[in-house]
Amino acid sequence: MNEFDLIKKYFDWGQDIGDDCALVSVNRYQQLATTVDTLIEGVHFPADTTPQDIAYKALAVNLSDLAAMGATPLYFTLALTLPSVNEPWLEKFSQSLRVLAQQCSIHLIGGDTTKGALSITINATGILTKNQALLRSGAQAGDSIFVSNTLGDAALAWQQLQNQQNPSTALLENFNRPEPRIKLGQSLLGIANSCIDISDGLQQDLSHILTCSKVGASIDLDVLPLSAEVAKHIANTSDWCMVLAGGDDYELCFTVSEAHINKLKTVQEELGVMLTKIGVITLRSPVSQFRLTIEGLDKTCKSYQHF
């Protein structure tokens, strides 16, 4: 049973919990977007990760969920489970957390500290104009599909770490310090029809958009944006599954109708972030069980499983 089946079976009580954030109306004009993510030592980061990188990533993955909705960050809570009180560790953790929080204008408003195996749960909340949020459910046939930056870098770093290799500084930076695409998400409000952050791999996360939007998609391996290192790895191994299903990218995948493509070019220039068209949204074939066609892929990739 994967995470999504588990949630659907045991925790979907009719409240619609299937987007990057939950939305809550708090006044006539605005909605809160709230999300929670846990990072566990040995599962989400290696045991020798620095406290600075752990703190950064714990907050960044939550900010990425806010970004995927187009929300403006407001506040977060921190539930920190520590094996013991290590003051130099805490000093570095807290400083790094504070720097990213200040950069993204999000405020720590409360928390809990407990004793146990190292684990960090952050609950982040942002704000949006009512009914403006970028949802997984808005993709339309004919939309172009875009992703930000490059894919697969974090997955390659993780594979190298597990094989006792030393990833390059650039790969490690992608793995430990994913940049939350807050400004991009905000800029996509009114432009994108749908959006998700790629935390479990492009294949699985794009499939969420297709399921929620009741559409299909065709993407093309040849145009996927890759760093030189990932391109070299693929050339040597043909391991496209690292890019499609490796996870931990925290880039945005979103769809834009023809009418808004020009606006997107302006966004790209203003933010200086690479945006690549990787395919198109299609009408879903009523007879096909495969909603996502990946041109150039001659096998199936097993998506990241939480259990």
Contact 155, 248 (CB under 8 A): yes
x/- letters, 262..301, toward a copy of itself (CB under 8 A):
----------------------------------------
Helix (H, G, I), strand (E, B) or coil at 74: strand
Whole-angstrom distance, CA of residue 274 vs CA of residue 229: 17
Nearer to a copy of itself (CB atom), residue 24 or residue 170 = 24
Show the binding pattern over residues 246-265: x = contacts a copy of itself (CB under 8 A), - = does not. --------------------
Compose the 51-90 pattern: x for residues touching a copy of itself by CB under 8 A, - for all others.
Answer: -----------------------xx-xxx-xx-xx-x--x
Would you give the binding string for a copy of itself spanning residues 187-216, x where CB under 8 A is met?
------------------------------
Measured CA to CA, the distance from residue 231 to residue 234 in angstroms comes to 5
Q: Which residues contact 56 (CB under 8 A, 6 or more apart)?
A: 96, 97, 100, 176, 177
Residue 173, exposed/middle/buried by CB under 10 A (0-12, 13-18, 19+)?
middle
Q: Which is nearer to a copy of itself, 35 or 227 (CB)?
A: 35
Residues 100-159 that bind a copy of itself (CB under 8 A): 101, 107-117, 119, 121, 123
CB of 61 to a copy of itself, least distance (A): 10
Smallest gap from Cβ 196 to a copy of itself, in A, equals 15
- Print the binding letters for residues 3-32 with a copy of itself: x by CB under 8 A, - otherwise: x--xx-xxx-x-x-x---xx-x-xx--x-x
Q: Looking at beta carbons only, is 77 or 211 nearer to a copy of itself?
A: 77
**Does the CA dihedral 160-165-170-172 come out positive or negative?**
positive
Cα–Cα distances in angstroms (integers) from residue 270 to residues 49, 184, 187, 259, 276, in the given order: 34, 10, 10, 19, 15
Long-range pairs of 156-162 with CB within 8 A, sequence gap ≥ 24: 156/229, 156/230, 156/233, 156/242, 156/246, 158/246, 158/248, 159/242, 159/246, 161/46
Q: Is 93 in the site for a copy of itself (CB under 8 A)?
A: yes
Question: In angstroms, rounded to a whole number, what is the distance separating the alpha carbons of residues 299 and 239?
Answer: 10
Name the site residues for a copy of itself (rule: CB under 8 A): 1, 3, 6-7, 9-11, 13, 15, 17, 21-22, 24, 26-27, 30, 32, 34-38, 40, 42-44, 74-75, 77-79, 81-82, 84-85, 87, 90-91, 93-94, 98, 101, 107-117, 119, 121, 123, 306-307
